[in-house]
Amino acid sequence: MFSKEESRKLREDFWISFGKSFPRKWILYNTKIKGLSFKFYFDTKKALVALDIEDDIENRINCWEKLEALKGVLHSRYLPKAIYEEEYYLDNRKEISRIYIPLEQKVSIHNKNTWQAVMDFFNVNMSLFETFFEEYQDIIKS
């Protein structure tokens, strides 16, 4: 078991190491679409990359419908294992819409032996996600 401070330090070390291993500017919050953002997620049980829609319900539905229409393209050309969840609940019980790709192996941010696999997973899958977004952002924005 790790103390809060040890856990915080491991998390910090992971993200610093990831940034040094893959030094590039990710889109993340800079989508230029209100409420739409890319996320990296890594904790003591899982890792995933996600595209979250966290806006008011009207804009969320509008954006979701466009992403739903592009589902076939995303699955066939970019991320065949992407999971669409129109109603996804965060740990804080906030409801969002999310498209995500989970890493299908057991990992933990507290286990440095799993870090390289997570970093490679993040780099490959977020790059594909961003390529999809860049190709279709005009449709998603409209």
Q: Which two tokens stand for residue 50?
A: 């996600």
Kindly give the parts of the chain with pLDDT less than 50: none
pLDDT at 2: 81
First and final C-alpha spacing in the chain: 49
pLDDT at 56: 85
**In the chain, where the domains are located:** 4-22+30-141
pLDDT at 1: 74
Q: What angle do CA 113, 123, 11 make, to 5 degrees?
A: 45
Does this model's pTM top 0.85? My answer is yes
Q: Which CATH class is domain 4-22+30-141?
A: alpha beta
Give dist(CA 57, CA 81) in Å, integer.
Answer: 26
pLDDT digit string (tens) for 61-82?
999 999 999 999 999 999 999 9
* Beta strand ranges found along 103-139 (DSSP E): none
